[in-house]
């Protein structure tokens, strides 16, 4: 579940990612990193080993070194939101929107 204290942050992060206000970098697939205003955010997808459930994981490191992390499984309501973030991050990190501008020309 997305912790209630971070719910609005996640929605703002989706908007900022879609608008290009924050930039993501690909990590070892399927993972991405964002460094913005001395914060580092790590977003990854992985299967849970014992039952193959898909998990989306977020880790946030603040400028003072504090860490917060959470995961959302494919069976939770918040998975739809986190998957939307993951998809937006994937497009952002690959710069795919720019690369496709002349696709139909």
* Domains in the chain: ranges and CATH: 4-13+24-92 (3.10.450)
For the segment 36-53, the average pLDDT, to the nearest whole number, is: 94
For the segment 47-62, the average pLDDT, to the nearest whole number, is: 94
pLDDT at residue 5 is higher than 90: yes
What is the percent of the chain with per-residue pLDDT over 90, rounded to a whole number? 87
C-alpha to C-alpha distance for 13 and 51, rounded to whole angstroms? 30
Antiparallel, parallel or unpaired: β 39-47 and 31-36: antiparallel
C-alpha to C-alpha distance for 4 and 27, rounded to whole angstroms? 27
In terms of Cβ atoms closer than 10 Å to its own Cβ (0-12, 13-18, 19+), residue 101 is exposed
pLDDT at residue 97 is higher than 90: no
pLDDT per position as a tens digit, 7-32: 999 999 999 999 999 999 999 989 99
pLDDT at residue 52 is higher than 90: no
């Amino acid at each position: 579940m997305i912790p209630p204290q971070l719910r609005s942050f996640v929605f703002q992060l989706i908007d900022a990612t879609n608008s290009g206000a924050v930039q993501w970098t690909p990590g070892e697939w399927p993972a991405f990193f964002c460094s913005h205003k001395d914060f580092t955010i790590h977003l990854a997808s992985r299967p849970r080993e014992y039952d193959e459930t898909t998990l989306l994981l977020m880790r946030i490191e603040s400028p003072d070194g504090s860490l917060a992390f959470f995961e959302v499984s494919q069976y939770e309501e918040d998975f739809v939101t986190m998957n939307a973030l993951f998809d937006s991050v994937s497009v952002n990190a690959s710069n795919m929107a720019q690369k496709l501008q002349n696709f139909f020309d």
